[in-house]
């Protein structure tokens, strides 16, 4: 399961047309692409994560090396870059003409105090293999025009991802600053542990956090979840109407589906 989750994340990381992950990802306020990624193996609850990693095309691979080859669970910034170099991963500029132009337009709009496209997304994977093993993986360049060093939910255990062979797996996407407030993925897995199916767990986890945040604020950031349990059932939900996810079983072509909107 973990190998499959990593393979999916790597495919998205290397696609310059996906402007929120890896190559061509959204630059920070300084025009630099900083990447976050994480993996979790449901067999032993082992975790690896990186944050604020620059000049690396495959942050999810570095995250997995943190898991397997260090005594730690997360490395950030120059420490993560050093590990990537030790792995033999070539330093690569992640800016593309498209992402540079988008950054320039957003920066100009910010300086002119105009409305700015928010820009945030994550590739998040919840995987189950035929042996019953569960895993989760995430990878992202974070929100547009973030401050240098900003870290979102994606590399944080329980917020951006969680996996436990005894129960299920979950991965999140959206505004990390809000997702972190509810440890959204751990909550979804906890709801599955209590007996809910993945669809019900995803919807309830999103609804609970959205309503809690809305009690003291006028607006809540976008949040979405994908979930899978040990029986092979899947679920997804979002607090907005635009979230779609892909799902596939053994030998199946992935099918893209809209997630139910709750809130």
Enzyme catalytic residues: 122
Burial of residue 253, with CB atoms counted within 10 A of its CB: 0-12 exposed, 13-18 middle, 19 or more buried: exposed
CB atoms within 10 A of CB 242: 10
Residue 182 in 3-state DSSP? helix
Do residues 221 and 172 lie in contact, with contact meaning Cβ atoms separated by under 8 Å? no
**Cα distances (Å, whole numbers) of residue 257 to 98, 246, 248:** 28, 6, 11
Do residues 205 and 186 lie in contact, with contact meaning Cβ atoms separated by under 8 Å? no
Pinpoint the alpha helices (H) of the chain.
2-13, 59-69, 77-86, 97-111, 176-179, 184-193, 198-214
Do residues 97 and 129 lie in contact, with contact meaning Cβ atoms separated by under 8 Å? no
Cβ within 8 Å of residue 250, ≥6 positions away: 130
Task: Please choose, from the candidates 175, 133, 132, the residue with its C-alpha nearest in 3D space to the C-alpha of residue 153.
Answer: 175
Q: Specify the pairing of strand 255-258 against strand 244-247.
A: antiparallel
């Amino acid at each position: 399961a973990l190998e499959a989750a990593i393979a999916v994340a790597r495919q998205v990381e290397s696609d310059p047309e996906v402007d929120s992950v890896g190559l061509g990802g959204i630059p920070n306020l300084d025009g630099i692409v900083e990447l976050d990624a994480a993996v979790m193996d449901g067999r032993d609850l082992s975790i690896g994560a990186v944050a604020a990693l620059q000049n690396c095309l495959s942050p999810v691979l570095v995250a997995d090396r943190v898991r397997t080859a260090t005594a730690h669970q997360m490395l950030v910034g120059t420490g993560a870059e050093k590990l990537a170099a030790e792995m033999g991963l070539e330093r690569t500029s992640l800016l593309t003409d498209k992402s540079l132009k988008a950054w320039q337009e957003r920066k100009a709009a910010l300086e002119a105090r105009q409305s700015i496209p928010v820009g945030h997304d994550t590739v998040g994977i919840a995987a189950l293999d035929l042996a019953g093993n569960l895993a989760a993986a995430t990878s992202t360049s974070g929100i547009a025009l973030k401050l240098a060093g900003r870290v979102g939910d994606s590399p944080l255990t329980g917020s951006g991802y969680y996996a436990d062979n005894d129960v299920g797996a979950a991965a999140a996407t959206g505004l990390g600053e809000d997702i972190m407030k509810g440890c959204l993925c751990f909550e979804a897995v906890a709801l599955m542990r209590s007996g809910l199916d993945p669809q019900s767990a995803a919807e309830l986890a999103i609804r609970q956090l959205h309503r809690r945040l809305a009690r003291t604020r006028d607006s809540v950031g976008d949040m979405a979840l994908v979930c899978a349990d040990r029986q092979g059932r899947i679920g997804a939900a979002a607090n907005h109407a635009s979230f779609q996810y892909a799902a596939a079983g053994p030998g199946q072509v992935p099918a893209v589906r809209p997630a139910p909107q709750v809130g």
